[in-house]
Amino acid sequence: AEHGSAPNDRQLLMTLCLDLNVIALNGPVLIDADFIALAHKIPVEDGQPPPTVLTDVETGSILPGLIGSRVWVGHWSLSPHFERKSAQLKLATRINSNDQTSSAIALNAVLADAHFDYALLQRQSRPVLTELSARGWTLLENSTRWSLLQAPR
């Protein structure tokens, strides 16, 4: 990009590829090992559409590159309506919220906006995990810090 101008799509994609290449070459040193183990339990099958995973914004920015899944909101340059969706998702997955009603409304909106196959959330997000279980989501596995759930079919 010229000095002062916004990067184009090709430049943004190249930056993302280079970032992912650094992770592949150096290993995911800064990524939680529990997260990586559970992420790899999400089945991504050749010839099938990738599963869509409900997760937080930070995790959503790396999960597609790590396992090939889709997320509702992830990397800012690749997520349509990033600002709105990330604010909505942060409210929906708020860990210590005194306003559970607002969090529940935000979660309803997120779940209505996309068909999710799995959720990979931090275990400290208990209100969200409880709400998903009440809606028929199945707990597949817990690690020390993460929970992996499958959406009802």
Confidence (pLDDT) at 16: 78
Mean pLDDT of 81-98: 80
Confidence (pLDDT) at 132: 93
CB contact set of 52 (below 8 Å; sequence gap of 6+): 69, 70, 71, 72, 114, 115, 116, 117, 118
Model confidence at 5, pLDDT cuts 50, 70, 90, reads low
Mean of the per-residue pLDDT values of the chain: 84
Mean pLDDT of 117-139: 91
Q: Does pTM surpass 0.85? A: no
pLDDT digits (tens, 9 = 90+) for 48-59: 999 999 998 888
Q: Helix axis angle, 82-92 relative to 100-113, nearest 10°?
A: 130
Confidence (pLDDT) at 145: 92
* More confident position, 75 or 49: 49
Residue 151 pLDDT > 60: yes
Residue 138 pLDDT > 80: yes
Cα 153 to Cα 145: distance, rounded to the nearest angstrom: 26
Mean pLDDT of 91-98: 70
Contact of 127 with 103, CB cutoff 8 Å: yes
* More confident position, 4 or 20: 20
Confidence (pLDDT) at 3: 47
Cα 153 to Cα 139: distance, rounded to the nearest angstrom: 14
Cα 119 to Cα 53: distance, rounded to the nearest angstrom: 5
